Chains A and B, each alone.
Chain A
Amino acid sequence: MAEREKLIEVKDLQITFGEGRKKFVAVDDVNFDIYRGETFSIVGESGSGKTTIGRAIVRINPTTRGEILYKGRKINGKISKELDREVIKNCQMIFQDPMASLNERAKVEYIISEGLINFNICKSPQERSELVQKALREVGLLPEFASRFPHEFSGGQRQRIGIARALIMQPEFVVADEPISALDVSIRAQVLNLLNQLKKSRGLTYLFIAHDLSVVRFISDRIAVIHKGRIVELAEAEELFLHPLHPYTKALLSAVPIPDPEIEKKKKLLVYNPSMHDYSSDKPVWNEILPGHFIYANQKELDGYRKEIRKG
């Protein structure tokens, strides 16, 4: 897959909050590429920095070190106004909580078309409302919903409004930050299907952020596992599920509830203890252990993992 176009490249990314004694490193040494047309997922527990990475890519959080490239151009830190506008337009975000991410005082029409107004995309109000109605229909809502307020909708419908708002800008790249974790089971499936359909019809590229591995397996092409601000393992979805190497990945996988009583009752829970790594002299690095399968480990651990792979 050497020839696939890299849409987003993240290199040695570090993000910190606060200064001096209060300085906190939220994300450190993060490297990954997102290819055009794929769904790339970041999984990890809360506080691991997965959302921070997503927000850094859409330029909400400033970065302290490293580079984020969008189609080969640097988009973090100080950039020109034109590029800034281009990134804002082409990289959109879908937020986690549909209850909190919509303006309660604005009508759906305004919520969805705000981006169009900011960018002066439409020549006339008629054209704008046509686009809004088209966007609503595309996410499976009725065009007449445009004149209503967010509180009149259920959680699933609100999430669809959030998706419509992101898509009306015709983005290439969408950061979906836990778009389904606030939703009910039956609605989850609908929203997942919708995201998948849009990916096919629009050729979208997703960065999907989640903590639920079962959902991630269903939707993504490649998965990165993040722990305490560091990506510890990255591989194709099935590869990661079938041959996890890093102990944290294994612990995370063992915690996923499987809807089958027989397996579930016998399951052994693995617990990850970060102190098991001895990084005092042998420093860990980001390694490609198999083609497309990356892991964060030191030399000694790498040898162990290689042995594990050979054993199958």
Chain B
Amino acid sequence: MAKEPILSAKDIEICFHLRGRSLKPIRKCSLDLYEGETLAIVGESGSGKSVFTKSFIGMLDANGEIISGSILYEGVDIAKYKKEADWVKIRGKKIAMVFQDPMTSLNPLKKVGKQIQESIELHQGIKGEEAKKLTLEMLKKVGIPDPERRYNQYPHEFSGGMRQRVVIAIAVACHPQILICDEPTTALDVTIQAQILQLIRDLQKEFHMTVIYITHDLGVVANVADRVAVMYAGEIVEIGKVDEVFYDAWHPYTWALLSALPQLGVKGEDLPTIDGTPPNLYNEIVGDAFAPRNKYAMKIDFVKAPPYFDITETHKAKTWLLDPRAPKMERPKSIQALRSKMKAKG
């Protein structure tokens, strides 16, 4: 890819200090984000997908810090930022975030319109009537009917889907370059989910944003993403274009995630599950972090962590299965058939 990434994270390691112990939720994560694309990050809860992206806007909890690596954004290494004043220039203005739960991410005591206006006034320096005009425009853009009336209402007067629209309006109000959506639809119904995904897509086109989706729903990923990164225990284990990851996955963890989907299950048979639990992040992980849960694990997986192997220019995976010396592995049947099967189902 000749394109220059607009954000480039390299070998990020994040450490949390907790009751005198430290744990590493992110272990050497690298990610390039290209302009205008939609990147989805998938993984189980606790795989570090939220923590990783929160480090892009300096929103790690107080006991967490980036201990090594760099995040290059507009020629500056923002991983070195320590002061809140530095972050304020980026957070919300250049990189904005939409959170999972619209019930908790709005201030219940403040009128919805004011909450959007606040972000406009803070970041764009526009005040008063003009800011209000922009706010009303924004409300209309995110598909809230009757914006004048809605402006003066409180969050409890909005339904879940409408609230998420408000949260999106706040995030997009300052025309950020990058929008990070942290499970934006997990708390919503399927029909509303589809509408919100469509809304984010429309806004992305209109404002030329680059979008990062964090989700555990591979159906959503298939819908929105250009590229997919699969995270496990603080590492990106596989990354590639959406077609490559769905039709030609290489990492056993990606296989496991795909085959655990009920959509691919056969009625009356058990769904394949991922047994065991993710590794304890307090401990140093030896070898491949997924090895203890991996049906396809080889001896080397328990000894040495695999490097990234390139499958194509855009697709790489962190598994020894790609080593030329590895024995040929059969992928689980349900995934082999993914393509043909999904087509037949229509």
Which A residues fall within an 8 A CB radius of B?
Answer: 45-46, 154, 184-186, 188-190, 192-193, 196-197, 211-215, 217-219, 237, 251-252, 254-265, 267, 269, 272
Contact = CB atoms under 8 A, between A and B. Distances in A.
A197 B268 CA distance: 9
Interface string B249-274: 00000001110111111011011111
B343 interface: yes
Majority secondary structure, B binding face: helix
B338 interface: yes
Given A186-B44, A186-B260, A218-B262, A45 B243 contact: no
A215 B262 contact: yes
A120 to B, nearest CB: 37
19 contacts: A46-B189, A185-B216, A186-B256, A186-B260, A186-B274, A189-B271, A193-B273, A213-B190, A214-B219, A217-B263, A252-B191, A254-B194, A255-B193, A259-B219, A259-B221, A259-B258, A260-B222, A261-B222, A262-B339
Point out which of A215, A219, A256, A257 has the most chain B C-beta atoms below 10 A from its C-beta: A257
B314 to A, nearest CB: 14
A267 B268 CA distance: 28
B190 A255 contact: yes
Given A192-B262, A257-B194, 7 more contacts: A217-B262, A218-B263, A218-B265, A257-B222, A259-B338, A261-B222, A264-B222
B48 to A, nearest CB: 14
A253 to B, nearest CB: 9
Interface string B186-208: 00011111110010000000000
A178 to B, nearest CB: 11
Contacts of B221: 259, 261
B175 to A, nearest CB: 26
Contact of B44 (A185, A211, A215): A185
Nearest to B258: A259
Nearest to B275: A190
Contacts of A196: 268, 270
Nearest to B192: A45
Contact of B342 (A252, A254, A258): A258
A264 B223 contact: yes
A259 B218 contact: yes
A258 B219 contact: yes
Contacts of B44: 184-186
Interface string B265-296: 10110111110010000000000000000000
Nearest to B47: A184
Interface of B: 44-45, 160, 189-195, 198, 216-223, 225, 242-243, 246, 256-258, 260-265, 267-268, 270-274, 277, 338-339, 342-343, 345-346
A184 B216 contact: yes
B47 to A, nearest CB: 10
Nearest to B346: A263
A186 B272 CA distance: 9
B260 A189 contact: yes
A189 B270 CA distance: 8
B263 A186 contact: no
A278 to B, nearest CB: 23
Point out which of B262, B265, B271 has the most chain A C-beta atoms below 10 A from its C-beta: B262
Contact of B243 (A184, A193, A259, A262): A262
A197 B273 CA distance: 14
A42 B85 CA distance: 52
Majority secondary structure, A binding face: helix
A197 B271 CA distance: 11
4 A-B pairs with the lowest CB-CB distances in the bound complex, closest first: A257-B219, A218-B262, A260-B342, A255-B194
B277 to A, nearest CB: 8
A260 B246 contact: yes
A212 B220 CA distance: 13
A125 B143 CA distance: 60
Contacts of A192: 262, 271
B33 to A, nearest CB: 19
B198 A269 contact: yes
Contact of B257 (A185, A212, A217, A269): A185
Contacts of A213: 190
Contacts of B338: 259-260
A190 B262 contact: no
A45 B263 CA distance: 19
A129 B198 CA distance: 53
Nearest to B223: A264
Given A46-B160, A214-B261, A190 B273 contact: yes
A214 B262 contact: yes
Nearest to B278: A186
Contact of A259 (B198, B264, B267, B343): B264
Nearest to A238: B267
A259 B192 CA distance: 18
A263 B274 contact: no
B263 A258 contact: yes
A159 B81 CA distance: 42
A272 B193 CA distance: 14
A196 to B, nearest CB: 7
Nearest to A186: B274
A274 to B, nearest CB: 13
A260 B273 contact: no
Nearest to A183: B45
B272 A189 contact: yes
Contacts of A258: 219, 222, 263, 342, 345
B273 A211 contact: no
A3 to B, nearest CB: 22
Given A46-B160, A258-B222, A188 B198 contact: no
